[in-house]
Amino acid sequence: MPAAKSNGQPQLLFVDGSFEELAREMADYLKAEEAKQLLSKEAPKEEVLSKLVAASQALNTVPEKEYTAASNLMIHLVLQSADPKKHLPTLCNNFSKPLANSPVHGPGLSINALTTVFNLLDQEDPIRARVLMEVLKFLKGQNMFDALRPYLDRLPEWIEVWSTGEEIERKIYDEVAQVALEAGEQEIGYEFILKALRTFDADDKEEITSEEAQKLSLRAVKMAILSNTHFLFQDLRAIPSVQALSDSHPVYSQLLDIFAEQDLEDYNDFNEEHEGWVEQQKLDHEKLHRKMRLLTFASLASATPSREIEYAKIAKALQVPKDDVEMWAIDVIRAGLVEGKLSQQRDTFLVHKVTYRVFGQKQYQELATRVDHWRATLQNVLGVLRQEQANAKAQKEREMQELERKMNNAGVGQSGPGRRQQRERTDNDD
């Protein structure tokens, strides 16, 4: 909504009148008797505002067509306070209650009022962070993630400007994650949970091992391993509070390690060692088992120097019948872990491209082996090309020699007796 500055405070362009006049109008509209009495006694502005803000909860009962004007006037009055942050939390909380008599347009009117408060505050005012929290809570309750989506990229910039501290930053990111998850946006929700985890001070052991940090870390781990689209875990494992799970929740830490870099056989051993634990934690075993097969396929593809894998080898690694290999190959391609082509005639899968789950010493060794294999292949190709080049050169020399021999036999280019006799007859004729 358009805003202007007056005496250092934001103003709504269409609001006109002194504070006393507008406050009296608002008190009459809200039937705020205590505010009226204070105005009649010319009480201090802050006392009047406290009563008006308390009475603003009645705004969710006004006619739909009057809500915007009334809420704008209320916002204007609060922003005349010498310290608006005393009143804004209560006002925003009242705005967060949609119109009772407007089930269709009520949520839209409420979010408009909340965003008006946010937009009229100075961009560097830290109180914007608290208003944003109210906006996020409202969006989560109303499942209105799309209203937030256009502003996600600007959040880090806003938070940096507000300088509200790590705790508020973490709460904002956590709220955004919850709004996204409520809307089914799993990847965005996971991304913001990681942002929230990174706000814990990595050098403060007490902080990264706190109940809040460990609880949030567990949420991130569960989301990551249960996700149908998330297959890489290095970013998660690099976070100090997640690493601290090895002490506070060692079984979860072990499971995360398996999904990060181990195979199906390791997962099966884990289930035998911790029988019933997956079910107790309400983790979907079938989903986890399927995901481990896909990850095992990716590891197999990345560890095969020739990039050609026999069906039998895949079936053994995934612990499935050979007839199911092609189905799993299609699934792993769809997951974006591997690119390749099936050869039914040769019963092999040719790997074109693979995503490395981790890249450590083992992977460097595998890469070195593959580079050596490529070098040997290229040297063989180069040897063949050079031999073919030498053969072609020799063939060309033979052809030139054969052509020269034929020309010599035909007398082309030579001065023999026949040519001299012809010249002598020509001279005698003259």
Is residue 5 over pLDDT 70?
Answer: no
**What pLDDT shows up at residue 429?**
52
How far is Cα 377 from Cα 384, in angstroms, rounded to an integer? 11
Predicted local distance difference test score (pLDDT) of residue 329: 96
Arithmetic mean of pLDDT, 7-25? 70
Mean pLDDT value across residues 231-250: 95
- What is the C-alpha separation between 147 and 107, in angstroms, rounded? 11
- Is 68:32 a contact under the CB 8 Å cutoff? no
Q: CA dist 72 to 13, 78, 130, 181, 296, Å? A: 10, 10, 19, 31, 59
Check pLDDT > 70 for residue 428.
Answer: no
- Tokens standing for residue 197: 């985890």
Of all residues in the chain, the percent with pLDDT exceeding 70 is: 88
Across 150-169, average pLDDT: 92
How many Cβ atoms sit within 10 Å of the Cβ of residue 71?
23
Q: Taking 70 as the threshold, does the pLDDT of residue 14 lie above it? A: no
Section 343-354 average pLDDT: 93
Residue-wise pLDDT for 108-152, tens only, equals 999 999 999 999 999 899 999 999 999 999 999 999 999 999 999
The pLDDT value given to residue 197: 97
* Range 102-106, long-range pairs (CB < 8 A, 24+ positions): 102/64, 102/67, 105/64, 106/60, 106/64
SS3 (DSSP) at 332? helix
Tokens 């505010």 correspond to 35
What is the distance between the alpha carbons of residues 393 and 89, in angstroms, rounded to a whole number?
88
| Cα angle, residue 235 at apex, residues 233 and 237 outer, rounded to 5° | 65
Q: How large is the C-alpha radius of gyration of the chain?
A: 39
Burial 298-325 (b: 16+ CB within 10 A, else e): bbbbbbbeebebebeebbebbeeeeeeb
pLDDT value for 150:
92
Residue 85 corresponds to which tokens in the numbers above?
Answer: 């942050």
Helix 88-95 with 64-78: angle, nearest 10 deg:
170
Cα separation, 392 vs 284, in Å, equals 65
Q: State the Cα–Cα distance between residues 430 and 418, nearest whole angstrom.
A: 19
Residue 430 has pLDDT above 90, yes or no: no
pLDDT of residue 392: 87
Residue 114, token pair as written in the block: 């909340």
- The secondary element (H helix, E strand) that includes residue 341 is strand 338-343
Is the pLDDT score of 364 beyond 70? Answer: no
Mean of pLDDT values over 245-255: 97
Question: Per residue in 282-316, pLDDT tens?
Answer: 999 999 999 999 999 999 998 887 889 999 999 99
Give dist(CA 63, CA 196) in Å, integer.
40
Residue 371: pLDDT over 80: no
Res 8: pLDDT: 43
For residues 395-400, average pLDDT: 86
Please check whether residue 175 is in contact with residue 137, taking contact to mean a CB–CB distance below 8 angstroms: yes
Q: CA–CA separation, 90 vs 54, rounded Å?
A: 7
Residue 255 makes CB contacts below 8 A (sequence gap 6+) with: 221, 225, 270
Averaged pLDDT of the chain: 88
Coil, helix or strand for 309? strand
* Mean pLDDT score, 64-92: 93
pLDDT at 422 over 60: no
Across 386-399, average pLDDT = 87
Question: Helix 285-302 to helix 211-226 angle, to the nearest 10 degrees?
Answer: 70
Residues 6+ away with beta carbon under 8 Å from 272? none
Integer Cα distance of 123 and 239 in angstroms: 31
208 three-state secondary structure: helix
pLDDT tens figures, 36-47: 999 999 999 999
Pairwise pLDDT comparison (86 vs 3), residue with the higher score: 86
Q: What pLDDT, on the 0 to 100 scale, is given for residue 370?
A: 61
The mean pLDDT of 10-25, rounded to a whole number, is 76
pLDDT of residue 349: 96
The DSSP letter of residue 85 is G
DSSP H stretches of helix in 96-126: 106-120
What is the percent of the chain with per-residue pLDDT over 90, rounded to a whole number? 72
pLDDT of 15 reads: 65
4: pLDDT strictly greater than 50: no
Instruction: Categorize the per-residue pLDDT at 376 as very low, low, confident or very high, splitting at 50, 70 and 90.
Output: confident
CA atoms 40, 45, 49, 51: torsion sign: negative
Angle formed by the axes of helices 264-273 and 285-302, to 10°?
Answer: 140
More confident residue, 227 or 419: 227
Please check whether residue 338 is in contact with residue 297, taking contact to mean a CB–CB distance below 8 angstroms: yes
Tell me the H-state helices in 227-360.
Answer: 234-237, 240-243, 245-248, 250-261, 264-273, 277-280, 285-302, 311-318, 325-334
Higher pLDDT, 17 or 157: 157
Q: What's the pLDDT score for residue 411?
A: 67
The arithmetic mean of pLDDT across residues 234-263, rounded, is 96
Quick one: pLDDT band at residue 403, thresholds 50, 70, 90? confident
Using an 8 Å Cβ cutoff, are 189 and 173 in contact?
Answer: no
pLDDT digits 0-9 by tens, 187-223: 999 999 999 999 999 999 999 999 999 999 999 999 9
Calculate ∠ Cα 357-365-262, nearest 5°. 35
Query: What is the total residue count of the chain?
Result: 430
What average pLDDT score do residues 66-79 get? 93
